[in-house]
Amino acid sequence: MNHSEARLMIGAEPRSSSAELAEHLATCPECTQFQREMTALDNNIRRALEQGPLPVFGPSASVTPISNARTTRHRKRAGWWPGWALAASVAIASLLVIWVLRPTDTLAHDIVAHVEFESASWSSKEPASAADINDALARGGVALDMGSDRVMYAHSCWFHGRLVPHLVVHMPQGPITVIILPDEKVKHRTSFHESGISGVITPAPHGSIAVLAQGDENIDAVARQVQKSVHWLQ
Amino acid sequence: MRGVRNSGPRTPVSSFNGSTVGAAASDPIVRLFESMRPDLLRFAHWLARDRAIAEDIVQEALLRAWRSREALKDPAAARAWLLTIVRREHARLYERKRLELVALDDGVEPEGMPSPPGPDSELDSLRGAILKLPLEYREPLIMQVLGGFSTAEIAQELSLSSTAVLTRLFRARNKLRTLYGLTPAPDDSESEGVA
C-alpha cells in the first residue's frame, strides 16, 4: 500500500484497521499523523451530525475560517521573523491544530442539542404506553421504578453511536427529560445551563444519567430522585 | 402534504402522524417505527437540508415502511431498513420535483466577520460546512457516520462501486479538513469508477 492508497483509505474510513493499512502506518509517520487528524475530525463530524443541521440558515451556518486569519498574519510576518521564532510558531501551530481538533463540545452540550432537536417531546400531553417505555428502557439495559403514567415520552434515540432511552417525565415542577447514557462514563456530578435548559449529569453504575428541565431552576433534588428510580439490569 | 393519504382503511395513518392512537398504538411494529422517528428525521434533515421537507420525507417513508412491513424479517434491522427507505424517499422527491432548495451561500456571512464566541461555534461551523457539501459527498458521509452503513452497503444503495464510495467519503472529509486550517490531502483518485 502506498501513500495515496493509505490516505484514501484513512480519509474514507478513519477508523479502518485493515492489516494492509496497519503495515503501512507502522513505517509511515506522515500517514499516521494524517490518520490521527482524520480520526479527530471524524469524532467532530459524528457529533455535528448527531446534533442535526443548524436550525436556521443564517450567519451561524457559515463556515468560519478557523485558522485563516491567524495563518494569514503569520505568513506576512514570516519574512522578517528570525528562525527560532519561526520554529516556535510551527510548534504553536501544531498545538493549535491539536487543540482545534479536540472534541469541541461537552457531553452536556451534545445532550442539550439532542433535546432541542426533539423539543416537541417537552409538550407531550398523553402518557407514553407501557410498551413504549419498556422498549426504550430495555434497549438501555435499565428499569425505572416510577409510575408509567408520569412518563409522557419514551423513545430510543441514537446518541453518540448507540441507542439510548430518552424519556420525558411529568414532575410536580413540570416536565423533565431523562436520558440514560449506558456508555458515557463521567467522574463527577455536573450541573449546566445552556440555551434555556438546566441539566444535571450524574455518574451511574454503567454510565451516566442526564436530567434536564426547561428554565433556570435548580433541579438537583429532581435529579437525585430520578437517579434513585433507575435500576441497571446489567 | 401530511395527513391525507391514499392508504387502505386498515393502514394506521394516524399512528404516523404525530400521535399514536387506536388499535395501531398497540401494534409492536408501529411502536418500533415510531421509536425511530427522531433518528429518521435527523437523517432526512441532513439529506434535505430543510426541516419541513424532512418531515414530509419521514412521513412518506413510514407509510411505505408500513405497507412493506412484511419485508422486515428481523426487527433488529429496522433502523437500517427505515433509513434506507428514507434515503430512497429523499432521492425520489429530489428527482421528481427538483426542489428549489435554499441557496446556502445566501446565508453565509461575509468573510472576516467574527463568529459569535461560544463553545459550540466550531461545531456549528462544521455543521454549516457539512450542509454545504454537494449531495454526492454529503449523502455517503451521512449514511456512513449517522446511519452506520458500511462502504459495501453504501455502494449497493447508491449503485456505485466500493472504490467510488471510498473516493467520495475521502473527498467529503478532505473538504472538511480545510475548515480546521489543515492542508487537504492530495487527491490522486482521478475517477471514481462507477459500478
pLDDT tens-digit map of B143-158:
999 998 999 999 999 9
In chain B, CATH 1.10.10.10 sits at 118-195
> Could you give the percent of chain B with pLDDT greater than 90?
38
How far lies B9's CA from each of A36, A228, B5, B6, B42, in Å?
Answer: 55, 45, 10, 9, 30
| H or E element at residue A162 | strand A162-171
Q: Give the closest of A7, A62, A136 to B108, CB-based.
A: A62
Quote the pLDDT of residue B157.
92
Q: Give the closest of A62, A117, A131 to B109, CB-based.
A: A62
CA-derived radius of gyration, chain B: 19
pLDDT band at B190 (very low <50, low <70, confident <90, very high): low
CA distance A65 to B125: 9
Q: Locate the chain A residue with the closest alpha carbon to B171.
A: A11
* Contact yes or no for A57 and B102 at CB 8 A: yes
* Contact yes or no for B119 and A104 at CB 8 A: yes
Q: Look at domain A107-232 and name its CATH class.
A: alpha beta
Name A123's Cβ contacts closer than 8 Å, sequence gap at least 6. A175
Quote the pLDDT of residue A55.
56
Architecture of domain B118-195: Orthogonal Bundle (1.10)
Higher pLDDT, B189 or B49: B49
pLDDT band at B27 (very low <50, low <70, confident <90, very high): confident
Write out chain A's pLDDT in tens, 234 residues. 888 889 999 999 998 878 899 999 999 998 898 889 889 889 889 988 988 886 543 333 333 333 333 333 444 444 455 666 767 766 776 666 655 554 444 788 889 888 888 888 888 888 888 888 888 888 888 888 877 788 999 888 888 877 899 999 988 888 999 999 988 888 888 888 888 889 999 998 889 999 999 987 888 888 888 888 888 887
Looking at the complex, report in whole angstroms how far the Cα of residue B8 sits from the nearest Cα belonging to chain A.
Answer: 25
CA distance A134 to B92: 35
Question: Does pTM surpass 0.90?
Answer: no
- Please check whether the domain covering B7-103 is classified as CATH 1.10.10: no
| H or E element at residue A210 | strand A207-214
Quote the pLDDT of residue B90.
92
Length of chain B: 195
* Contact yes or no for B112 and A69 at CB 8 A: yes
Q: Which chain A residues are Cβ-neighbours of B167 within 8 angstroms?
A: 8, 12
Helix A68-78 / helix A83-100 crossing angle, nearest 10 deg:
170
Q: Which chain A residues are Cβ-neighbours of B173 within 8 angstroms?
A: 11-12, 14, 38, 41-42, 45
* Contact yes or no for A129 and B25 at CB 8 A: yes
Q: Give the closest of A7, A49, A62 to B130, CB-based.
A: A49
| Domain spans in chain A, listed from the N-terminal domain onward | 3-52+66-100, 107-232
* Contact yes or no for B46 and A38 at CB 8 A: no
Average pLDDT over residues B85-94: 90
Q: Give the closest of B38, B127, B176 to A53, CB-based.
A: B127
Q: What does the mean pLDDT of chain B come to?
A: 76
Task: Tell whether the model's pLDDT for residue B141 goes beyond 90.
Answer: yes
User: Residue A81 has what DSSP assignment?
Assistant: S
Q: Are B24 and B15 in contact (CB under 8 A)?
A: yes
In chain B, CATH 1.10.1740 sits at 7-103
Residue with cell 442535526: A52
Interface of A with B in 29-48 (CB under 8 A): 34, 37-38, 41-42, 44-48
CA distance B33 to B16: 9
How far lies B193's CA from each of A7, A222, B163, B173, B189, in Å?
Answer: 18, 57, 7, 19, 10
